[in-house]
Structure 1
Amino acid sequence: MIKVSETAKKKVVELMADDGYNAATDYVRVGVKSGGCSGLSYDLKFDKEQQDGDKVFEDNGVKIIVDKKSFLYLIGTTLEYSGGLNGTGFVFNNPNANRTCGCGESFSL
Structure 2
Amino acid sequence: MSTDAAQSGETTQIEVTEIAAEQALDLLESEDLDPGVAGLRLFVQQGGCAGLSYGMRFDDEPESDDTVFTHHELRVFVDPASMNYIEGSVVDYETGLQGAGFHVDNPNVVSECGCGESFRT
1:25 aligns with one of 21, 25, 37:
37
Please tell me whether the aligned partners of residues 40 and 57 of structure 2 are also in contact (alpha carbons under 8 angstroms).
Answer: yes
Cα drift, residue 91 of structure 1? 0.4
Q: Give the 3-state SS of the residue equivalent to 1:33 in structure 2.
A: strand
1:69 paired with 2:81, answer: yes
Compare 59-68 and 99-108 and name the one that shifted more.
Answer: 99-108
Alignment gaps of 5+ in structure 2: 1-12
Quick one: percent identity of the two aligned structures? 38
Tell me which structure has the larger Cα radius of gyration.
2
Amino acid across the alignment from 1:98: V
Please tell me whether the aligned partners of residues 14 and 69 of structure 2 are also in contact (alpha carbons under 8 angstroms).
Answer: yes
Q: Give the 3-state SS of the residue equivalent to 1:90 in structure 2.
A: strand
1:8 aligns with one of 17, 20, 37:
20
**TM-score scaled by length of structure 2:** 0.83
Size of the aligned set, in residue pairs, is 109
Q: Give the 3-state SS of the residue equivalent to 2:22 in structure 1.
A: helix
Alignment gaps of 5+ in structure 1: none
| Aligned residue number for residue 39 of structure 1 | 51
Q: Give the 3-state SS of the residue equivalent to 1:7 in structure 2.
A: helix
Amino acid across the alignment from 1:13: L
CA RMSD of aligned residues (A): 1.2
Amino acid across the alignment from 1:24: G
| Aligned residue number for residue 105 of structure 1 | 117
CA distance in 2, matches of 1:71, 1:100: 18
Cα drift, residue 13 of structure 1? 0.9
**TM-score scaled by length of structure 1:** 0.92
| Aligned residue number for residue 57 of structure 1 | 69
2:92 aligns with one of 58, 63, 80:
80
